[in-house]
Amino acid sequence: MAKNLLIVESPAKAKTIEGYLGKDFLVKSSYGHIRDLVKTDDAIDVNNNFNQKYEVPADKKSLVSELKKLAKEAETVWLASDEDREGEAISWHLFETLGLKEDKTKRIVFHEITKPAILKAIENPRQINYNLVNAQQARRVLDRLVGFELSPVLWRKVKPSLSAGRVQSVAVRLIVEREREINKFKATAAYKVTAIFSTGKQKELFRAELPERFEEEAAATKFLEDCKKAVYQIASLETRPTKRSPAPPFTTSTLQQEASRKLGYSVSRTMSIAQKLYEHGHITYMRTDSVNLSDTALNAASAEINSAYGSKYHQLRKFKTKAAGAQEAHEAIRPTYFEQHTIEGDASEKRLYDLIWKRAIASQMSEAQFEKTTAKITITGRTENFVANGEVMKFDGFLKVYMESTDEETEASVDEDNANAILPPLAQGQTLTAQEIKATERFSRPPARYTEASLVKKLEELGIGRPSTYAPTISTVQNRGYVVKEEREGKQRQFNQLTLVSGELKKEVKTETTGAEKGKLFPTDIGAVVNDFLVQYFKGIVDYHFTASVEKQFDEIAHGLKEWTEMLKSFYSPFHQEVETTIQTAEKARGERDLGVDPESGKRVSVRIGRFGPFVQIGDTPENEGEEKPRFASLRSGQMIETISLEEALELFKLPKKVGSYEDKDMTVAIGRFGPYIRHNSAFYSLPKGLDPHDVTEEQAIEIIEDKRKKDSEKLIKVFEENPEVKILNGRWGPYIEFGKQNVKIPKGKEPKDLTFEEVKALAEAAEKEPKKGGKKFAAKKK
DNA sequence: CAGTGAGCGAGCTTCCGCTTGACTT
């Protein structure tokens, strides 16, 4: 039996530490918090110093009794949860729940999982810091009070099952307000002038740009006209050295951002891949807000850089965390072994590891050095100058391994920006020939919609949420239906382009797509209505600085400068009063908006939120029996109550429409919540993109139906004579059995074609008997 | 998935932060 029981939060960490400590230590994990407030409304007694009722959740019961037993047998229990507010509370909960004795318990902390760090921690034990525990209690209680008092207000005043909270409600607010900024935005156009110059020598072409833009077409035309007879000369040539430094190693939020930009992973995907890398011992802990590297790591990185690239590529760097409210209980995310350039694993694990390795290594490498050349080119007859920029890399430094990307990168590349190309040898006073000069109409861009990752970045900047909650928060706001992550089609827009080639001026009207989005976060109507409600009645809670201001007070509690129940009292009494007042005075919020009158029928048209989502109503609700009933239509994906126009709303009533018949059955075209479709003999056929549902002809409809049937038959592997309802189909993830309404996966090793009806029936029955436990839980959570 | 759409009322929902699994038509 071990003399010492040491408890950490994570099982992977426990395994590593056990290896460092030897036989006298048994290292176990608490798997995070071991108890939480009871789920009911009586968890906090607000009239009795915010006294809390805690319980060990069902799935932690056996773990807790195991730890209790081991603790009893041990001479000393070492509480080694993380050194932050939550970690301190975990230690305290362990102390209370396991029934530990003060003289047999020691609290230790370390920021890095290295042998010396842990041995040093063991030599310097302390007691539980109750100020820190109180700060955590204040945080926990405040969040519960806010969440469990605000949500019921929404149930009464907006819709059942909705939720509100200190973190999620601000996330929704950011998205709603950004959408409104975009809707409000008016693009302005201006002509941007670029030129391609030649030195006269073959292949020596380079680009230059006019820093000024012309707002009017006439001014741009005049400029190009003047260029026809102009002489171009290099007036000045300036070369200066520039340098670029590497970014710090990853934190949770920067990893999520970079994996989203470079690998296209959602934040939750990134986290689950990182979790695997961590469990396999490839990387350090992935939920961290620190950019700090341990001395061990700094030495290992240095050794690796020196041996792989040479000492001139190495530069020791220590980064400082900038994020508000960072608690820095862990190191930055880095490879455990820098000498491992690649790892075993699936493709996604390899790619994420590669990113983490490069970023961490690059952070310890020297600056990249450039020589930047700027040439100013005069135009006779004009006061403006063309400017050409060139950049030559003199030393690659950290760029040898890693280049950070930016959010604007994809946008800018559309703009065919002159990305600091290399200039040919130039001399001051040299004259140039203009091969081509172009004035292109460019539009100003509205603020960018949030992606999952850029939302995390914004939340982190505001100090809202923690590394462990960024991904869940993004799921919550989507699961509640406040936000959707979508792809939306853009609109076509025309722009002018004036081109001067060989002394000839030519005007073209071109088209471009604007506003097309992929994987961006859009607010829903319910998200907007809930947000407006909260902003109106609970301005303080959804204020962008609310978290920062309570965090400041939690810090004071943690430093023993403030009493935690006093802090909660001064927060709770005005807050609770607001809740009471709102319940009594606020109207039910339905987001209703009047669109005016239908010019054809003279009936009123309005939009609002109904049981099945937003819809348009034409005609008033009748007051007496026998009066004409109003008609209804659902809004389409992408349409919102606050932006839909009267014309768009009326358009929704032109469908469903008969387009002809096929096999003696009518074909109707209509628009559902998920886009236009054809209905035929109780089956649905989606319309291909780009086909206007109003113009579908009988022939097109038949073609769509036949095409879908053909595709379905290609998926078919086998039908059973015994029961034609039972089929084997080729699905997205391989063959599966369609057994009535049930779909059953075919076990590995079976050839789908050879399955008999009996075998298939047995598989389906077995699958039905065995309910998918985790699946149901997950589905329930989603709802 | 998709065509609908009253209002009532019982009984339900809900927070944030710390951790992993078991789940995947």
A293-297, A501-505, A774-778: least confident range? A774-778
For residue A313, count other CB atoms closer than 10 A to its CB: 20
Query: A322 is written with which tokens?
Result: 């900038």
Through-space separation of residue A636 CA and nucleotide B2 C1' in angstroms: 11
Which residue has the closest alpha carbon to B6 C1'?
A621
* Apex A109 CA angle, A106 and A114, nearest 5: 120
CA atom of A163 to C1′ atom of B13, Å? 9
Among A320-324, A336-340, A521-525, A580-584, the minimum mean pLDDT is found in: A320-324
CA-to-C1' span, A656 to B3 (A): 9
pLDDT tens digits along A638-650:
889 999 999 989 8
Does residue A144 surpass a pLDDT of 90?
yes
Q: How confident is the model at residue A407 (pLDDT cuts 50, 70, 90)?
A: low
Strand A517-523 and strand A483-488: pairing? antiparallel
Residue nearest to nucleotide B16 (CA to C1'): A143
Whole-angstrom distance, CA of residue A443 vs CA of residue A411:
13
Q: Which amino acid is at A311?
A: S
Nearest nucleotide to A160 (CA to C1') is B13
Each residue's pLDDT tens digit, A518-540: 999 999 999 999 999 999 999 99
What is the model's pLDDT at position A698?
84
Residue A80's pLDDT is what?
97
CA distance A423 to A234: 13
Least confident piece of the model among A98-102, A705-709, A767-771: A767-771
Give me the pLDDT at residue A87, please: 97
Please give the pLDDT value at position A543: 98
Query: Is the Cβ–Cβ distance between A589 and A538 less than 8 Å?
Result: no
Instruction: Report the alpha-carbon distance of residue A742 to residue A722 in Å, rounded.
Output: 17
Q: What is the average per-residue pLDDT within A617-634? A: 78
pLDDT at A747: 67
Which residue has better confidence, A655 or A464? A464
Reported as a pLDDT band with limits 50, 70 and 90, residue A731 is low
pLDDT digits (tens, 9 = 90+) for A566-619: 999 999 999 999 999 999 999 888 888 999 999 988 889 999 988 778 889 998
Q: What letter does residue A365 receive in the DSSP assignment?
A: B
Predicted confidence at residue A13, as pLDDT, reads 93
Q: A156-182: per-residue pLDDT in tens?
A: 999 989 999 999 999 999 999 999 999
Distance (Å, whole) CA A41 – CA A89: 22
Which nucleotide has the shortest C1'-to-CA distance from A145? B15
Q: What is the pLDDT of residue A624?
A: 67
CA distance A694 to A691: 9
Closest nucleotide relative to residue A171's CA, C1' based: B16
Residue nearest to nucleotide B25 (CA to C1'): A743
The percent of residues above 70 in pLDDT, for chain A, comes to 93
Point out the nucleotide closest to A330 (alpha carbon to C1′): B18
Helix (H) or strand (E) holding A249: none
- Residue A769's pLDDT is 56
How does residue A230 score in pLDDT terms, banded at 50, 70 and 90?
Answer: very high
**CA nearest to A288, candidates A90, A83, A118:** A83
For nucleotide B21, give the residue with the nearest CA to its C1'. A774
Give how far Cα A86 sits from Cα of A17, A34, A77, A426, A466, Å.
21, 12, 19, 62, 11
CA A241 – CA A258 distance, rounded (Å): 28
Chain B nucleotides near the protein (CB, 7 A): 1-6, 11-25
Q: How confident is the model at residue A768 (pLDDT cuts 50, 70, 90)?
A: low
Is the Cβ–Cβ distance between A380 and A230 less than 8 Å?
yes
Residue range A446-450: average pLDDT? 97
| Per-residue burial over A668-698, b = 16 or more CB atoms within 10 Å of its CB, e = otherwise | bbebeeeebbbbbeeeebebeeeeebeebee
Give the pLDDT band (50/70/90) at residue A416: very low
Looking at the annotation, which residues of A are catalytic?
A: 285
CA→C1' distance for A14 and B20 (Å): 13
Which neighbouring-strand residues pair with A729?
A: A716, A736
Round and report the angstrom distance from CA (A529) to C1' (B9): 25
Pairing of strands A734-739, A742-745: antiparallel
Comparison of pLDDT for A422 and A300, the residue scoring more: A300
Could you report the per-residue pLDDT of A660-701, keeping only the tens digit for each?
A: 888 888 888 877 666 678 888 777 787 776 677 777 888 888
pLDDT tens-digit map of A98-142: 999 999 999 999 988 889 999 999 999 999 999 999 999 999 999
Integer Cα distance of A283 and A259 in angstroms: 15
CA-to-C1' span, A207 to B15 (A): 56
What type of residue is A635?
L
Q: Is the pLDDT of residue A622 over 90?
A: no
d(CA A612, CA A226): 62
| Residue whose CA lies closest to nucleotide B11 C1' | A160
Helix H or strand E segment including A631: strand A631-634
